[in-house]
Amino acid sequence: MNRNLAGDVNRLSLSVRVLAILLATSLAAGAAEITGRVTVLNKDGERPLKRFDHAVVFIEGLETPPPGEPAVMDQTNKEFVPRLLPVVKGQEIRILNSDKVQHNAFSPHEQEPFDLGLYAAGETKSVRLQALKRHKVYCQIHKSMVADIFVLPNRYFGVTDGNGRYRIDAPPEGGYILRVWHIFGGADQIPIRIGQQTLTVDFTIRSSQTIEEVLDHPGMPGQGQPHASPHGDAY
Ligand SMILES: [Cu+2]
């Protein structure tokens, strides 16, 4: 390749890259992202927990229809997986049983309790929820099984990894409240304005359960939680 041609190719590839960037920017009704890190402290606020996963960061001030695809929670090795399942209001929630033993899934939520009854091995059942925020889920057969389904008004949310990092992809521009909620009760909120730039928001939140509860009873509900089927069924 002679020098001139090489220069032309380089210029061409440069303008293709510039074009790609311009195109991305022009499609940017929500091309930005929100990222950051959530630090979760124990109840007295003095020590961080060992892991910062199981927090959800979400925006309020906007409603979107539920996605067509279901949110999925498995029952495997006598645990609900994931431990925290964020869903959009009205979205199909599929709860399945991948274990060889029987399970059950029920929620004692005040406004919107459900009980999916007994699960045979391999069975799948569905539920849709309208009431926002936390719905605790238990298995009547295995008292150590617990999960949280967290119902959100829109699809713009992210969950933290073990290091507390989260990311919300392509939220629409505008002014909103950014909120965080963790399964041990820590929560916080901050007003944000989403433009075309990536927004970085870190949170430090304090648990409402003591760390002793967390360490002694991993996966157990907080003290004083009722653990009866909402319909009074015996299993
Ligand atoms: Cu079970």
Assigned architecture for domain 29-62+156-229: Sandwich (2.60)
pTM recorded for the entire structure: 0.78
Q: Regarding the domain delimited by 65-154, which CATH topology (the fold level of the hierarchy) does it fall under?
A: Immunoglobulin-like (2.60.40)
User: Burial letters for 33-48: b for 16+ Cβ neighbours within 10 Å, e otherwise?
Assistant: bbbbbbbbbbbeeeee
Same fold, 29-62+156-229 and 65-154: yes
CB neighbour list of residue 164: distance below 8 Å, 6 or more residues apart: 37, 38, 39, 40, 52, 53, 55
C-alpha–C-alpha distance, residues 28 and 222, integer Å:
43
Q: Is the pLDDT at 24 greater than 50, yes or no?
A: no
For residue 192, give both structure tokens: 């944000």
Distance 4 CA to ligand 1 centre (A): 71
Q: Which chain residues have CB less than 5 Å from ligand 1, an ion?
A: 103, 139, 141-142, 145
* Spacing, Cα 58 to ligand 1 middle (Å): 30
Where are the domains positioned within the chain? Answer: 29-62+156-229, 65-154
Q: How far is the CA of 75 from the centre of ligand 1 (A)?
A: 7
Tens of pLDDT, residues 149-176: 999 999 999 999 999 999 999 899 999 9
End-to-end CA distance of the chain: give it in Å, rounded: 78
Tokens 């979205």 identify what position? 91
Helix, strand or coil for residue 128? strand
